[in-house]
Amino acid sequence: MHIWKVAEVERCFRVKCFGYQVIMFWCAFVVFFLALGNELHLSHATEVSVNNTENKLCLYANLMVNFSVAYEVGVNKSESVLFVLPENVTTEGSICNNTTSTLKLGFGDGHSWAVEFTKDNKTYQVDSIVFTYNLNDSSVFTNSTSNETKSVTAKPRITNVGVDTYYSCKSENVQRVESVTQTLYDVTLQAFVTNGSKSDTDTVCTADLTSTTVAPTTTVTTTAAPTSTPTPTLPTPTTGNYSIAPDFNSTACLMATFGLRIGFKQGDKVETINLVPSATEVGGACGVNSSILILTSDTITIMFTFSNDSKKFHLHALNVTVKPATGVAVVAANTNMSIWVAAVGSSYMCNKEQTLTVTETLTLYTFKLRVQPFGVEKGEFATAVECFMDSDLSFLVPIAVGVALCFLIILVLISYLIGRRKSRTGYQSV
């Protein structure tokens, strides 16, 4: 009887001790993961429905739009601001007719975004997009010297959309007019709805279409024998130097240098592509609170959005479109990021390869990175803040993890010995 009690106590203690050990290791893992992780969220789209006089759906939209606007803040001085079409908008002023329709979205203090549609017998198209912005809105246009309300008209290539179908385009559509840049992506539009509900059939934009009609056959062949045609290893991307200036006579206000590789999924296959600096156009704008860098090649369009809180800057958002030689275009957007952090007036640098997961389908790899989106003087990088991987302390990470694990093991052993001692004391007192 006494022997059974002691054995049972020891057995129970081992079960509890093992449970404590699992809990402690699990907690250590969670803490370590949270310390290294970077939680990413996708921004919300703007979705609206407009009904006609018979209270039936006649216009539908679900899309995302970024605006970059340059405006004057003093004599020969300008700033740029970046903002997005909000989730909550009004549709006052929208009109549905038989051959012409207007989708007008109002937001903020006097801002609006209107799409003009026209229709012939079998197709419809977008004739123009009119963006109206109120410079008197100090919450957006800080220190603006003008209180005017201005409008710009863009003419996007949205044509030959079949009647009773909706227009679909995940790729970025960048419209630059005067001092305004509009970037549309993840667009779903349908005008002239005839049956009172959104169509189940889409007209896909050219950018999203496959480049060849035999792509499915090629994909099947590759899948059947993946080992016979291995994906070639790409060379290290060429380092490019990119800069933005307010005008042709000014020095740079944003500077960046890096090599860039993009990994993306096509079905179950992961492919990679390098950005070629010599074949890349540079665009963007500098602002007080936000700056953007847009790089465009035949196969890649990427927009970096940097934010400034007056003390530190960081990469806030990424919009990426990849158009591979075969397969459909891949579009990824992430507008809630906080990486590449450095004090305003300095630059951020990371020579080691960095891996950034934008979405589940797209990953960025940077090489020899250095960026400064604010406070550039005389066209030169300021003192750099190094990433942790470049610092001399990076070797301490495995040491710290080893010390933590050793501490947990020692703690478990001490707990086990104390439990054994108590169990023996209990046995002697019986």
H helix count then E strand count, the chain: 3, 26
| pLDDT tops 50 at residue 108 | yes
Contact in structure between 282 and 319 (CB atoms under 8 Å): no
The span from the CA of 403 to the CA of 400, in Å, is: 5
Report angle CA 169, 171, 172 to the nearest 5 degrees.
115
Q: Where are the domains of the chain?
A: 2-37+395-428, 46-208, 236-386
**Domains 46-208 and 236-386 belong to one CATH topology:** yes
Q: Indicate if the pLDDT at residue 399 is higher than 70.
A: no
pLDDT tens digits for range 222-248? 333 333 344 457 899 999 999 998 776
The average pLDDT across 168-190 equals 87
Instruction: Give the number of other CB atoms < 10 A from CB of residue 27.
Output: 11
The separation between CA 194 and the C-alpha centre of its own chain, rounded to angstroms, equals: 36
Top CATH class of 46-208 equals mainly beta
- Asked whether the CA dihedral 18, 22, 27, 29 is positive or negative, the reply is positive
pLDDT of residue 422: 64
Q: Alpha-carbon distance 172 to 329, whole Å?
A: 10
- Look at 181-190, 301-310, 412-421 and tell me which has the smallest mean pLDDT: 412-421
3-state SS, residue 367: strand
Burial class (CB in 10 A: 0-12, 13-18, 19+), 356: middle
Backbone torsions φ then ψ of 356, nearest 5 degrees: -125, 115
* Percent of the residues in the chain that have a pLDDT greater than 70, as a whole number: 78
Measure Cα distances from 407 to 19, 337, 402, 414, 421 in Å: 17, 34, 9, 11, 21
Query: Mean pLDDT throughout 19-48?
Result: 47
List the single range of 145-149, 331-335, 421-425 with lowest mean pLDDT.
Answer: 421-425
Which segment, 227-231, 300-304, 334-338, is predicted with the most confidence on average?
A: 300-304
Give the length of the chain. 430
Give residue 275's identity as a one-letter amino acid code: L
Helices (H), 105-194: none
pLDDT band at 397; cut points 50, 70, 90: low
Say if CB 239 and CB 351 are below 8 A apart.
no
What pLDDT is stored for residue 251 in this prediction? Answer: 87
The topology under which CATH files domain 236-386 is Porin (2.40.160)
Confidence band for 332, pLDDT divided at 50, 70 and 90: confident
